């Protein structure tokens, strides 16, 4: 009889990078079998500074780290909040927020 392999359902490949303006660009890919919050805690242990992440709560308890969150994820929420049956989308606060985000972040 064949043994069945157990497949993990939520693996994650974390990507750690510095800012693109850095003189020495760094990209580190770290595979983990789960997206548990202790994974970034272990990897970033001793790091102090800012990180840009999605809204996953596993990043909320990083010691010495300020979470700047991801502007693309924030922008998507503005766009998703625009009602589909509105005549003039440009008049909505969500569209105005989306335009503001584009001006300030994606210049």
Mode of pairing for the β-strands spanning 49-51 and 65-67: parallel
**Confidence band (pLDDT; 50, 70, 90) for 107?**
very low
Percent of the chain topping pLDDT 70? 74
Do the strands 27-32 and 49-51 form a parallel or antiparallel pair, or are they unpaired?
Answer: unpaired
Q: pLDDT at position 24, please?
A: 93
C-beta separation of 101 from 78 below 8 A? yes
pTM for the structure as a whole: 0.58
Query: At 57, is the pLDDT very low, low, confident or very high (cuts 50, 70, 90)?
Result: confident
């Amino acid at each position: 009889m064949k043994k069945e392999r157990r497949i993990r359902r939520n693996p994650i490949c974390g990507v750690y990078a510095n800012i693109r303006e850095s003189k020495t660009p760094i990209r580190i890919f770290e595979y983990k079998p789960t997206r548990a919050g202790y994974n970034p805690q272990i990897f970033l242990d001793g790091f102090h500074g800012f990180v840009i992440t999605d809204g996953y709560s596993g990043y909320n308890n990083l010691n010495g780290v300020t979470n700047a969150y991801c502007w693309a994820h924030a922008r998507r929420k503005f766009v998703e909040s625009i009602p589909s049956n509105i005549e003039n989308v440009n008049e909505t606060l969500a569209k105005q927020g989306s335009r503001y985000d584009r001006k300030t972040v994606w210049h």
